[in-house]
Structure 1
Amino acid sequence: MTEVTGSKRAQITRAALLEAAREVFSAAGYDNANMADIAERAGASVGSLYHHFAAKSDLYITLYNEYQRRQQHRSAQAFRTALRRGEQDALQLFIAGTRAYLEGCWEERELATVFLSGGGPAGFGLLARERFREWLHANSVLVNDHVHPLSEMLVLSLTAMATEAGREVAAAPSRAKARRMIDEVLELMGRLYPDS
């Protein structure tokens, strides 16, 4: 039997706290969640929770940042896969990344719903807008090195469409409905630039 080091134990506790926070925020929303419930669900003390996270807002923003990283990874991976398959059209590359993003919204629908609902700690709206601008810039850079570059306003419109569609996909009543929604929004995106 291997001994768990202090560092490993701290990582395990932190992961349990984040998972418990995900469950509590998903069930109660940000405003109604409390730190004692999160600690109890994680099987940790409130003191341990505050050792790892300064406040409820810190937990929420950490979950959000990790969710965003997973979403960016999904999109970038789909983009690279499309490139390896020979796709060079900017819009089709964007659509490949968007499909992965929207599928991630369904797969992590509890968190997506929490983050896309408009709630959260003070200042979260500003953070979300900053992340949106970062995503917009990343999308522009990725797709505009390819055939049929997309205008700045088209990338803005497509990114906004993807964000709003993500909210609806996360709230879909079934996987089948979510897939139909994803297919429909991607088809609509394709119509915005018919010469691609």
Structure 2
Amino acid sequence: MARSEHRRWGKTAQTQADILDAAVAVFAERGYTTATIADVIERAGSSVGSIYHHFGGKAELFHALWAEHTQGLERSAAEAVAKAREDGVSTPIALFEAGGAAYLRAVWRDRRVARIFWTGDAPPGFEVLRRQRGQAWIENNLKLLGLAGSLEDRFVAAVFTAIMGEAARTVIGCARSKQAEAIIAEAVRVSRAVAESRGTPD
């Protein structure tokens, strides 16, 4: 890459990051409905043209935050599962626990952003995106847990997914890391109990 192109790319990436950081602060403080693009502009020290060029309007900015947040959580879980496999872990429930614990720790780490998406204050159509992601999460867990595609297996995968989803909601509200770790440990324990009740212990 030519030096001038590298500088331009770096400036663009930094501008996008600054806008997203400002959006997190504004949505967290004011909520989606009350927040305005002007609020984000002021916080980011950017311009109207820059925000619309990189993201579009307020709804698109919210969706971009959601995409960045969820991709980060998924990456943390996938890396943990890959590391567990490298360390010789092979049983489905143990891999699920490794991925689930990493996912929940990422939620705790990014809890300020995560809270934005649990308030119910979101642009039209956001709940559809959330449900679609939930279905994709179930499909991933179906494979990770070594389950087939029967209705019963899909139900089981949904149960495991719900355990981590509710744990994530709880972790977001924790006041201290020790409290968050206790919830993570409990989510892992409940997952293991469900697996053992089905006759598939580690």
Q: Give the TM-score taking structure 1 as reference length.
A: 0.90
Structure 1 residue 46 displacement after superposition = 1.9
Q: Identify which range, 29-38 or 5-14, moves more after superposition.
A: 5-14
- Which letter maps to 1:133? Q
- The 5 A counterparts of 1:34-183 are 34-144=36-146, 151-183=153-185
Tell me, in whole angstroms, the C-alpha distance in 2 between the residues paired with 1:49 and 1:88: 46
2:33 aligned residue: 31
Tell me, in whole angstroms, the C-alpha distance in 2 between the residues paired with 1:26 and 1:178: 20
Tell me, in whole angstroms, the C-alpha distance in 2 between the residues paired with 1:49 and 1:177: 38
Match of 2:195 among 183, 193, 196: 193
Structure 1 residue 155 displacement after superposition = 1.3
Give CA-to-partner distance per residue, 1:89-145, whole Å, 9 cap, x none.
111111111101110110000111111333311000000000111111112123318
- Which letter maps to 2:123? P
RMSD: 1.8
Tell me, in whole angstroms, the C-alpha distance in 1 between the residues paired with 2:19 and 2:127: 24
Tell me, in whole angstroms, the C-alpha distance in 2 between the residues paired with 1:84 and 1:12: 34
Tell me, in whole angstroms, the C-alpha distance in 2 between the residues paired with 1:50 and 1:37: 14
Q: SS of 1:118's equivalent?
A: coil
Q: Identify which range, 2-11 or 171-180, moves more after superposition.
A: 2-11
Q: Which runs of 4+ in 1 moved over 4 A?
A: none
Structure 1 residue 54 displacement after superposition = 1.4
Tell me, in whole angstroms, the C-alpha distance in 2 between the residues paired with 1:92 and 1:117: 32
Q: Tell me if structure 1 keeps the 8 A contact 2:167–2:187.
A: yes
In structure 2, runs of 5+ residues without a counterpart are none
Tell me, in whole angstroms, the C-alpha distance in 2 between the residues paired with 1:47 and 1:76: 36
Q: Identify which range, 168-177 or 41-50, moves more after superposition.
A: 41-50
Structure 1 residue 36 displacement after superposition = 0.5
The sequence identity of aligned pairs, in percent, is 32
Q: Tell me if structure 1 keeps the 8 A contact 2:59–2:123.
A: yes
Q: Tell me if structure 1 keeps the 8 A contact 2:108–2:180.
A: yes
- Which letter maps to 2:69? Y
- Which letter maps to 1:135? W
Q: Tell me if structure 1 keeps the 8 A contact 2:41–2:47.
A: yes
